[in-house]
């Protein structure tokens, strides 16, 4: 058996209030969010994200306020937040996952 444990196992001893706060954050993460809202929901400061991306804090602010960016840049930001970027195209009830090549 692998060393991975289910999230529910990790949180089973948390207080009901803490479990409710976590559930609310998970629900919020499932909705559409701007990058700054996602960063805030993950309780990351612009400074911490800048450190993870090896850039300065003002560059994070500019990233969060951009109207457009390359998918590769978005992937870097999402991965720095601890996530994985998936890209899905929607066509008349059909969803097609676009494969993103890993960065070298």
**Residue 52 Cα distances to 12, 26, 55, 104, angstroms:** 30, 22, 8, 17
For residue 71, is it within any domain?
Answer: yes
Question: How many CB atoms within 10 Å of residue 76?
Answer: 19
- How many domains is the chain partitioned into structurally? 1
**Residue 54 Cα distances to 2, 15, 46, 50, angstroms:** 33, 36, 12, 6
* pLDDT one-digit tens code per residue, 49-81: 999 999 999 999 999 998 888 998 999 999 999
pTM of the model: 0.62
Domain of residue 61, residue span: 7-98
Kind plus residue range of the DSSP H or E element containing 87: strand 87-91
For residue 104, is it within any domain?
Answer: no
The CATH number that applies at residue 25 is 1.10.260.40
For residue 21, is it within any domain?
Answer: yes
For residue 2, is it within any domain?
Answer: no
- Among the residue ranges 26-35, 74-83, 93-102, the one predicted with the least confidence is 26-35
For residue 103, is it within any domain?
Answer: no
For residue 76, is it within any domain?
Answer: yes
pLDDT tier at 1 (50, 70, 90 boundaries)?
Answer: very low
């Amino acid at each position: 058996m692998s060393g991975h444990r289910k999230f529910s196992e990790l949180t089973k001893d948390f207080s009901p209030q803490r479990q409710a706060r976590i559930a609310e954050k998970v629900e919020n993460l499932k909705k559409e969010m701007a990058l700054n809202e996602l960063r805030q929901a993950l309780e990351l400061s612009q400074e911490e994200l800048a450190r993870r991306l090896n850039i300065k804090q003002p560059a994070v602010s500019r990233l969060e306020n951009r109207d457009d960016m390359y998918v590769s840049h978005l992937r870097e930001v999402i991965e720095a937040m601890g996530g994985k970027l998936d890209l899905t195209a929607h066509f008349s009830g059909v969803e097609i996952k676009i494969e993103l090549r890993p960065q070298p």
